[in-house]
Chain A
């Protein structure tokens, strides 16, 4: 199983969570990336961005926020 890349975007203002996700996905053709965010807005923004790039997406609630899981 390949390594999981974790992006911690908790607490950051728009549009930084999406920018960090974009950077993490830039050189990846496959794998699993977990993005940590603390608001539903950031969660939805990351989901929409990754979906548009062809990644499978799912989310888990975690203490004080969400874990957005991106897989390809």
Chain B
């Protein structure tokens, strides 16, 4: 009855110009954040030097690396560019090992550079369906998320795949990754476990480096404590104390969760990323998105992939 009434009243009005949509999808109440929940403040911002920025990573010396277009650009924390690596195709993800070795992910393979940006190796393709989206560099291994294959690939330092982690396996109690859009990230925590987002299940999962599923956390929903939309969180970083910094798209927001997954606070809410939120609307939400990295002092760098702006966030005192 309500539907018929809405249609009838619209027709009766006979209005030709813009009219109020009786079927509006209203999420406006979710686009503002309770100020009491926001524990970080923006200290500075700068824009990526190349267009189409996708991912960021931080080295041990706090050099910030930005994957944008066909380039990987190294920046000072202030944003000043240090050097640039040109690739033959769009750069998708990167990670920097403790010794400064840079692992750069292209669509289906990894390229390795030294700390000065000189090419050291090009690893073999991970397959035709491979779509590499995240890298974590350990002491002896490199872990790469393949959104196309829905698997974490464990490489040795020579570039050989030694294990496939996270493929659905009932006998090993591995639930499998659900990746509706190409956002699939991995980090190697100080406790030796892999943290990985499983966006289709709206949660974070923990794995041993040998592929044993250790647990998960995360709740589905639009509310600030939950993970919204079809597939979130999309990217994340780890704070020095083991807490998680998560990014969402659709409702672009960055939040802090404890090491065990309890919601703690907000770094930046939807209102901070208005262009990013708009970018999701017109065609599909994969057009938006954020990425984060944490430096040695616990400052959080947020990359807005729509505007290419990097925000440096510092905890409020």
- A interacts with B: no
Interface residues of B (CB under 8 A from A): none
Interface residues of A (CB under 8 A from B): none
